[in-house]
Each structure stands twice: as C-alpha cells, then as structure tokens.
Amino acid sequence: MERETNYEGWIRQQGIPIADGYGIQDVREIPRRPWRVQAVKARLSNSRGWRDSLECT
C-alpha cells in the first residue's frame, strides 16, 4: 500500500470531487462542488502519469 503524500492529503481535505486513475474519458462528467478555499465550484482530475487538472468555475 502506498503512503499518501502531503499534496494528496491536502487535496483530499478540500472536499472537492477527485477523479483518479489512468484514463478519464470525459472530465466534464466529474461533478463540481463548492471549494471553500476559493469560493468557487471545483473538480480535480488526476490521471496517473500525467499532471493534475484543477478546474474551477
């Protein structure tokens, strides 16, 4: 079992949806939820081997 990094722990605590895996077919299907830190709706996609993508509206 892999240990959670500081970044992974922080982003998990933000309360926004996280799609995690090797392939995400349609990032638009990930719901956005209020992100209290920025007062916007946000979602995070984490494609293994690629950079994270944080989308806010």
3-57 tens-digit pLDDT: 888 888 888 888 888 887 777 788 788 888 888 778 788 887 876 656 677 777 7
As a whole number of angstroms, the distance between CA 36 and CA 54 comes to 14
User: What integer pLDDT is reported at residue 6 of this predicted model?
Assistant: 87
User: What integer pLDDT is reported at residue 8 of this predicted model?
Assistant: 82
Cβ neighbour number for residue 14 with a 10 Å cutoff? 16
- Dihedral pair phi/psi, residue 37, rounded to 5°: -65, -40
User: What integer pLDDT is reported at residue 49 of this predicted model?
Assistant: 59
Which secondary structure element, helix H or strand E, spans residue 18, and what is its range? strand 18-21
User: What integer pLDDT is reported at residue 11 of this predicted model?
Assistant: 81
As a whole number of angstroms, the distance between CA 37 and CA 26 comes to 26
User: What integer pLDDT is reported at residue 31 of this predicted model?
Assistant: 85
Give the tokens for residue 10. 């922080």
Give the tokens for residue 57. 């509206």
